[in-house]
Structures are given as C-alpha cells and as structure tokens.
Amino acid sequence: MRNLIVLILVLCSFRVPISQGRPRLSLVLKCKQSAGFNLYAQGTTKMCLYLGQENKTYVEAKADCTSRNSRLAVLNTLEKYQIVEPMSNVWIGLDDSVTEGTYRWADGSILDLQSELKKKIFYPGEPNAAYELEDCVCNYCFMNRPKLFDSPCGDTYRYLCEKVI
Ligand SMILES: *[C@@H]1O[C@H](CO)[C@@H](O)[C@H](O)[C@H]1NC(C)=O
C-alpha cells in the first residue's frame, strides 16, 4: 500500500511539473510580502495593489504610496483598468499637474488623449479640466458613475498604490 502511494505521488509529479505552478505562486507571495498588498489578475495581466481606505488628497495619497515603496496605480492598458474599474472613489496615478492638458501616468509616461484606451477608460467628455482646477484623476468618483474623471487634486478619496514586482 505504501509503495502504491509512493508510485502515485511519483506519477503525479511527472504529470504536473511542479515548476509550472511556481511563478504564479511566487508572484502572489512576493506581492503579499508588503502588508496590505494583494495580487489582482485580469487575463494574463497581474497587478500588485494596495487599496488605501483613508480619504486623502492626491498629494497625500501619492506620498503614502511612496512610503509603501510603491506608486499610485498606472492603468496604461485596458486589462489593468478593468482590474480597478469596480473600485469606487479612488485616486489612480494620472494627472496633468506639470503641464495642463498633458496627462502623465505615475511612471512618467504620457496618456495619448486621442487613443482608444483613453476613450474606453474615461467617462465620456472627461477629462474636462473644469474650472482649470481638475488636474488629478479618480475612478468611479462622480455621480455614482463608473470610469475615470478628472477632479480637483485637493479633494479626498481612497487611493490605489501599485507595487511593481
Ligand atoms: C471617505 O469619504 C466618503 C465620501 O465622503 C465617505 O463615505 C467615507 O465614509 C469616508 N471614509 C473614511 C474612512 O473616512
């Protein structure tokens, strides 16, 4: 009986190479090494995110992400946006604070406002730079409507930090 169990275990280990399961598991563990961060997936896209529950201004939220060795979340693909889409009243890492009208992700790259991606992730007509005060971007944060909006950076929302792992 014991031999049979050993044989089955040996056969199983051939059928499912252990190494196949390892990268995904190690990514989960790597993400969880930082308190409060969790791995989210959409298709093959994975993001290691921390959802800050305290309401903070954009600058405060950004500083909190930095203190957690992370940055405000960069959602530069549709899959990444879809991970975040249901999370309401959160700052993400996108603003035009440096140059009005030029929206930069938290990694320094620029969002092309003519792109299909922009049309898919922003609420229609946004960003609208209302009153020239709305420089920072939040998700699902106006009139209980999903998608991205620009909002005054001094407003307070929850926030999403992203750890690049
Ligand atoms: C954050 O603000 C929202 C909207 O004003 C409020 O409903 C929520 O209770 C606040 N959360 C905390 C943790 O203060």
Which residue, chain included where needed, has tokens 């792109």? 115
Share of the chain above pLDDT 70, in %: 85
Digit-coded pLDDT (tens) for 17-52:
444 445 577 899 999 999 999 999 999 999 999 999
Q: How far are the Cα atoms of 45, 118, 136 from residue 66, in angstroms, in the given order?
A: 23, 26, 17
Does ligand 1 come within 6 angstroms of the Cβ of 55?
Answer: yes
Ligand 1 close to Cβ of residue 107 (< 6 A):
no
Average pLDDT, the chain: 89
Tell me if 53 CB under 6 Å of ligand 1.
yes
Tell me the CA–centroid distance for residue 71 and ligand 1, in Å. 22
Residue 88 Cβ contacting ligand 1 at under 6 Å: no
Ligand 1 center to 137 CA (angstroms)? 18
Which segments of the chain have a pLDDT < 50?
A: 5-21
- CA angle 53/56/62 to nearest 5° reads 100
* pTM (predicted TM-score): 0.84
The three-state secondary structure class of 61 is helix
Residue 102 CA, distance from chain mean position: 20
Q: What pLDDT score was predicted for residue 6?
A: 47
Q: Whose CA is nearest to atom 13 of ligand 1?
A: 54
Residues 24/44, Cβ–Cβ less than 8 Å: no
pLDDT for the residue numbered 3: 60
